[in-house]
Amino acid sequence: MIKKRGKQTVKLESKPKIITTTSIVGPKEAKGPLKDYFDIKLKDELNGEDSYEKTESYMIYTAIMESIKKANLQQEDIDYLVTGDLLNQLTASSFAVRAIDIPYLGIYGACSTMTESLSLASMLIDGGFANYAIAATSSHFVSAERQFRFPLEYGAQRAVTSQWTVTGAGSMLLGKEGNYPYVTHVTIGKVKDYGITDSNNMGAAMAPAAVDTIKQHFQDTGRTPNYYDLIATGDLGKVGMDITNELLKEYGYDVKKNYTDCGYEIFYRDEEGVNAGGSGCGCSAVVDCGYIYKNMLSGKLKKVLLVSTGALLSTTSSLQGESIPGIAHAVAVEY
């Protein structure tokens, strides 16, 4: 039976269940407005490691292992692990999972990795290829800054449109059975590039991809914005969120009353340095695995559309003056 709906959406007939989640955040995120929803909070950016990259690997390892532990399962029960991060050659993820005895699929979707990994893990289960699968991702403020922008010691002035990379990791363990929030639809996004070249304005670069995926999800499923209690993009921040609102209106979709952005919510608006909000793989990961998942378990949210957004640039492409392609993937979760 063909499960594809419309141009880009898959309907998951078996409704894979999100059995457990784990969220880990750094000290800045642990002081933010969503602090009560995170499972583990680091005391400092290094957390006893001798590099920030090792700290990021620690976070993603711990998030994965905690999710398995919460589900009362063992490593050998998990069929696939799907994860990625922002660092070169996915070193944060790959170095973490070398200590985990689970078949591994490393993916790069930039900051869209949480819903990309969740999409793939859900389809593996719905396709009958797995009983259990884990979707996970991470980012770290310092490791991302020194790879994509400047070493912190440089003291570069941050643009008004710039965002603060979230130090955090999130993990979702999916299975076939149980009374848990479940995945109903996956909409795989297309790469969109509207010519933005400013790497300090990621929100503007990624917003067109978010708009295209959300619009296509509605068209493929026949749903409207009112179907969902919450539509949450990944890390567009204030700038990208405003653009998304306006562009979706042009397509006839008014999402303002039930739409938010994880990067907009994770920090206090006036906190020094965050400017337009949060970003990074860990941004939507910890908000999805913490705030959104726990509000679904409590019944406050019943139908949510998760739309992580990613900027598919590299340090080399930016220095060559290339524009910034964007991507977004949408996952419908209901309970």
Rama region for 200: left / alpha / beta (φ>0; ψ in -120 to 50; rest)? alpha
Q: Are residues 131 and 33 in the same domain?
A: yes
Three-class DSSP category at 86: coil
Mean pLDDT of 30-51: 96
In a domain, 11, yes or no: no
Is pLDDT above 90 for 135?
yes
Instruction: Specify the pLDDT at position 157.
Output: 61
pLDDT at 277 over 90: no
DSSP assignment of 199-267, as one string?
TT-HHHHHHHHHHHHHHHHHHHH---GGG-SEEEESS-HHHHHHHHHHHHHHTT---GGGEEEHHHHSS
Q: What is the mean pLDDT of residues 286-308?
A: 98
In a domain, 1, yes or no: no
Interhelix angle 237-250/202-221, nearest 10 degrees = 40
Give the pTM. 0.95
Res 305: pLDDT:
98
Question: Does 269 lie in the same domain as 147?
Answer: no
Question: Are residues 321 and 201 part of one domain?
Answer: yes
Tell the residue number behind the tokens 């593996």, with chain if given.
124
Indicate if 57 and 190 belong to the same structural domain. Answer: no
Same domain, 296 and 149: no
Do 321 and 188 lie in a common domain? yes
| pLDDT tens-digit series, residues 67-106 | 999 999 999 999 999 999 999 999 999 999 999 999 999 9
Looking up tokens 């998951």 gives 12
Domain span at residue 95 reads: 16-175
Q: Which residue has the higher pLDDT, 130 or 277?
A: 130
Which of 175, 192, 227 is the C-terminal boundary of a domain? 175
**Region 298-304 average pLDDT:** 98
pLDDT tens by residue, 2-37: 899 999 999 999 999 999 999 999 999 999 999 999
Q: Which residue has the tokens 């900051």?
A: 111
Do 227 and 92 lie in one domain? The reply is: no
Q: What is the pLDDT of residue 323?
A: 95
Asked, for residue 288, whether it belongs to a domain, the answer is yes
Q: What is the mean pLDDT of the chain?
A: 93
Indicate whether 307 and 158 sit together in one domain. Answer: no
DSSP summary character for residue 2:
-
Q: Is residue 236 included in any domain, yes or no? A: yes
Residue where a domain terminates, one of 154, 175, 196 = 175
Residue 153 has pLDDT above 60, yes or no: no
CB atoms under 10 Å from CB of 153, counted, come to: 7
Domain count of the fold of the chain: 2
108 in any annotated domain: yes
Gap between the Cα atoms of 143 and 153, Å rounded:
13
Residue 314 falls inside a structural domain: yes
**pLDDT reading at 146 higher than 90:** no
Domain shared by 109 and 191, yes or no = no
Considering the domain architecture, whether residues 161 and 200 belong to the same structural domain is answered as: no
pLDDT band for position 201 (50/70/90)? confident
Distance CA 221, CA 4 (A): 10
**Which pLDDT does position 115 carry in this prediction?**
98
Asked which of 175, 190, 212 is the last residue of a domain, the reply is: 175
What is the pLDDT at residue 152? 57
Please state, for a pLDDT cut of 90, what percent of the chain lies above it: 84
Tell me if 4 is assigned to some domain: no
CA distances for 319 relative to 84, 144, 196, 308, 324, angstroms: 24, 16, 14, 25, 11
In a domain, 197, yes or no: yes
pLDDT for residue 155 is more than 70: no
Residues 6+ apart with CB under 8 A from 92: 53, 56, 57, 60, 85, 86, 138, 140, 143
pLDDT, residue 34, reads: 97
Examine the domain organization and report whether 69 and 155 are in the same domain.
yes
- Whether residues 167 and 210 fall in one domain: no
Give the pLDDT confidence score for residue 150 in this predicted structure: 61
CATH number for 40: 3.40.47.40
* Rounded Cα gap, residues 50 and 35, in angstroms: 26
